[in-house]
Structure 1
Amino acid sequence: MLDILKEFEPVFSPKSVAIIGASRNPSKLGYQSLKALIEAGYVGKIYPINPNAENVGEYKSYPSILDVPDPIDLVIISLPPNGVLDAVKECAKKRVKGLVIFASGFKELDEQGAQTEREMVRICNEAGIKIIGPNTIGMMNAYSNLNASFAPIGKLPKGNISIISQSGGMGTTLLSYIIEANLGFSKYVGVGNRANVEIADILLYLRDDPNTEVICVFMEGLDKAREFLQVAKKVAREKAVLIYKVGKTEVSNKAAFSHTGSLAGSYHLYKAAFAQAGILEVIEPSELVDAAKAISILPPAKGDKVALITHTAGPSLVITEVLERYGIEMSVLSEETKRRIMESVPIGITVQNPVDLTGVAYVFSNLYGVVGKIILEDENVDALIAVYTPSFQPEISLPAKELIEITKATNKPVIAALISPNTYPIEEQVELEKNGVAVYRNPERTAKAMANYLKYWKLKRNQVQK
Structure 2
Amino acid sequence: MSLKNLDALFRPKSVAIVGASNRPMSIGAVVMHNLLKADFPGPIMPVNPKYRAVSGVLAYPNVSRLPVTPDLAVICTPPRTVPGFVEELGKRGAKAAVVMSTDLDTITDREGRTLQENMLAAAREYGVRILGPNCLGLIIPGNGLNASFAHTDVLPGRIAFVSQSDSLSQAVLDWASSRGIGFSHFVSLGDSSDIDFHGVIDYLGNDPFTKSILLYIEDIKNARPFMSAVRSSSRNKPILVIKGGREELGKESRISHAGMLTSHDDVYDAAFRRAGMLRVFEVHALFDAVETLARSQPIQGNRLAILANGRGPGVMATDALLGRGGTLATLSEDTIRGLDNVLGGKWSRSNPIQIPDHAVSETYAEALRHLVADDTIDAVLVMHVPSSFVSADDIAGAIVTVAGGQKSNVLTSWLGDQGVESARRILTLAGLPTYDTPDKAVRAFLDMDRYRRNQELLMETPDSAPAEFTPDAAAARAVIRKALEEGRATLSEPEAKEVLGAYGIPIVPTRIALDDEEAQLLAWDLGYPVALKAYSPDILHKSEVGGVALDLESPEEVEHAMGSIKGRLQKLKPDARLQGFTVQKMARRPGSYELYVGATTDPVFGPVILFGEGGTAVEVIRDRAVGLPPLNMTLAKELIQQTRIARMLQSHPEQPNGVDMDAVRLTLMQVSQLIIDIPEVMELDINPLIVDHEGVLVLDARLVVGQTKESGPQRLAIRPYPKELEERLELQDNRAVLLRPIRPEDEPAHVRFINSLTPEDIRLRFFGHVREFPHSQMARFTQIDYDREMAFIAKDKGGDGEDLETLGVVRAFFDPDNIRAEFAIVVRSDLKLRGLGSILMAKMISYCQSRGTKELVAQTLRENKGMRALGKKFGFKILPMDDDEEMIELKLELNGSGEETSQD
What is the TM-score normalised by the length of structure 2?
0.46
SS of 1:23's equivalent in the other structure is coil
The aligned length equals: 448
Q: Tell me which moved more, 61-70 or 112-121.
A: 112-121
1:372 to 368, 371, 377: 368
Q: Which structure 2 residues correspond to residues 68-217 of structure 1 after superposition, within 5 A?
A: 68-107=66-105, 109=106, 115-154=114-153, 156-217=154-215
Aligned mates of 1:345, 1:41 — CA distance in 2: 58
2:217 to 213, 216, 219: 219
2:47 to 49, 63, 66: 49
Aligned residues of 1:174 and 1:286 also touching (Cα < 8 A) = no
Aligned mates of 2:116, 2:305 — CA distance in 1: 54
For 1:257, the equivalent position in structure 2 comes to none
Deviation >6 Å, runs of 4+: 110-114, 391-395
For 1:13, the equivalent position in structure 2 comes to 11
For 2:307, the equivalent position in structure 1 comes to 309
1:454 to 449, 464, 486: 449
Aligned mates of 2:377, 2:142 — CA distance in 1: 38
Aligned mates of 2:311, 2:102 — CA distance in 1: 51
Opposite residue 414 of structure 2, the aligned amino acid is L
For 2:322, the equivalent position in structure 1 comes to 324
| Shift, 1:238, TM fit | 2.0
Q: Which structure 2 residues correspond to residues 288-307 of structure 1 after superposition, within 5 A?
A: 288-307=286-305
Query: Structure 1's 408 and 394: CA in aligned 2 closer, same or farther, altered over 3 A?
Result: closer
Aligned mates of 2:73, 2:419 — CA distance in 1: 42
Aligned residues of 1:177 and 1:289 also touching (Cα < 8 A) = no
Aligned mates of 1:172, 1:390 — CA distance in 2: 36
| Shift, 1:399, TM fit | 2.5
Aligned mates of 1:185, 1:424 — CA distance in 2: 30
Query: Structure 1's 377 and 268: CA in aligned 2 closer, same or farther, altered over 3 A?
Result: same
Opposite residue 430 of structure 2, the aligned amino acid is N
Q: Which has the larger radius of gyration?
A: 2
For 1:282, the equivalent position in structure 2 comes to 280
| Shift, 1:429, TM fit | 4.3
| Shift, 1:439, TM fit | 2.1
| Shift, 1:452, TM fit | 1.0
| Shift, 1:304, TM fit | 1.7
Query: Structure 1's 84 and 199: CA in aligned 2 closer, same or farther, altered over 3 A?
Result: same
Aligned residues of 1:101 and 1:135 also touching (Cα < 8 A) = yes
| Shift, 1:205, TM fit | 0.3
SS of 1:140's equivalent in the other structure is strand
For 2:26, the equivalent position in structure 1 comes to 28
| Shift, 1:427, TM fit | 4.1
For 1:260, the equivalent position in structure 2 comes to none
| Shift, 1:351, TM fit | 4.2
Aligned mates of 1:58, 1:395 — CA distance in 2: 55
Aligned mates of 1:103, 1:318 — CA distance in 2: 50
For 2:410, the equivalent position in structure 1 comes to 414
Aligned residues of 2:247 and 2:264 also touching (Cα < 8 A) = no
Identity of aligned residues (%): 27
Query: Structure 1's 292 and 85: CA in aligned 2 closer, same or farther, altered over 3 A?
Result: same
Aligned mates of 2:313, 2:63 — CA distance in 1: 58
Aligned mates of 2:355, 2:298 — CA distance in 1: 28
The answer on 1:387 being equivalent to 2:383 is yes
Aligned residues of 2:107 and 2:115 also touching (Cα < 8 A) = no
Opposite residue 403 of structure 1, the aligned amino acid is I
Structure 1 stretches lacking a partner, 5+ long: 254-264
SS of 1:292's equivalent in the other structure is helix
Query: Structure 1's 142 and 248: CA in aligned 2 closer, same or farther, altered over 3 A?
Result: same
Aligned mates of 2:296, 2:275 — CA distance in 1: 22
RMSD: 3.0
Q: Using CA pairs below 8 Å that are at least 6 residues apart, which structure has the higher relative contact order?
A: 1
Query: Structure 1's 75 and 303: CA in aligned 2 closer, same or farther, altered over 3 A?
Result: same
Query: Structure 1's 106 and 314: CA in aligned 2 closer, same or farther, altered over 3 A?
Result: farther
Aligned mates of 1:390, 1:188 — CA distance in 2: 38
Aligned residues of 1:369 and 1:403 also touching (Cα < 8 A) = yes
Aligned residues of 2:18 and 2:76 also touching (Cα < 8 A) = yes
Deviations 1:173-206 (A, max 9, x none): 3344444444332111111111111100011101
What is the TM-score normalised by the length of structure 1?
0.87
Aligned mates of 2:11, 2:365 — CA distance in 1: 45
Aligned mates of 1:391, 1:26 — CA distance in 2: 54
Query: Structure 1's 247 and 73: CA in aligned 2 closer, same or farther, altered over 3 A?
Result: same
For 1:435, the equivalent position in structure 2 comes to 430
Aligned residues of 1:344 and 1:371 also touching (Cα < 8 A) = yes
Opposite residue 95 of structure 1, the aligned amino acid is G
| Shift, 1:215, TM fit | 1.2
Q: Tell me which moved more, 34-43 or 135-144.
A: 34-43
Query: Structure 1's 444 and 22: CA in aligned 2 closer, same or farther, altered over 3 A?
Result: farther
Aligned residues of 2:249 and 2:264 also touching (Cα < 8 A) = no
Deviations 1:391-442 (A, max 9, x none): 9999752533222222222222222223344x77834545533433112233
Aligned mates of 1:153, 1:425 — CA distance in 2: 29
Q: Which structure 2 residues correspond to residues 330-349 of structure 1 after superposition, within 5 A?
A: 330-345=328-343, 348-349=346-347
| Shift, 1:315, TM fit | 4.3
SS of 1:436's equivalent in the other structure is coil
Opposite residue 191 of structure 2, the aligned amino acid is N
SS of 2:204's equivalent in the other structure is helix
Deviations 1:14-59 (A, max 9, x none): 1111222222233112222222223323222211223222222231
Aligned mates of 2:95, 2:122 — CA distance in 1: 12
Query: Structure 1's 388 and 79: CA in aligned 2 closer, same or farther, altered over 3 A?
Result: farther
Aligned mates of 1:300, 1:127 — CA distance in 2: 46
Aligned mates of 2:28, 2:386 — CA distance in 1: 45
Deviations 1:210-263 (A, max 9, x none): 11122111111122112211222122222222222223214899xxxxxxxxxx
Query: Structure 1's 427 and 28: CA in aligned 2 closer, same or farther, altered over 3 A?
Result: farther
Q: Tell me which moved more, 110-119 or 266-275.
A: 110-119
SS of 1:319's equivalent in the other structure is helix
Deviations 1:53-82 (A, max 9, x none): 222223112222322111211111122323
Aligned mates of 1:360, 1:326 — CA distance in 2: 30
Aligned mates of 2:347, 2:250 — CA distance in 1: 50
For 1:445, the equivalent position in structure 2 comes to 440
Aligned residues of 1:174 and 1:289 also touching (Cα < 8 A) = no
Aligned mates of 1:335, 1:287 — CA distance in 2: 36
Query: Structure 1's 415 and 158: CA in aligned 2 closer, same or farther, altered over 3 A?
Result: farther
Aligned mates of 2:441, 2:179 — CA distance in 1: 12
SS of 1:306's equivalent in the other structure is strand
Aligned mates of 1:391, 1:30 — CA distance in 2: 55
Query: Structure 1's 458 and 29: CA in aligned 2 closer, same or farther, altered over 3 A?
Result: same
Query: Structure 1's 275 and 25: CA in aligned 2 closer, same or farther, altered over 3 A?
Result: same
Aligned mates of 1:28, 1:391 — CA distance in 2: 54
SS of 1:27's equivalent in the other structure is coil
Opposite residue 385 of structure 1, the aligned amino acid is L
Query: Structure 1's 40 and 453: CA in aligned 2 closer, same or farther, altered over 3 A?
Result: farther
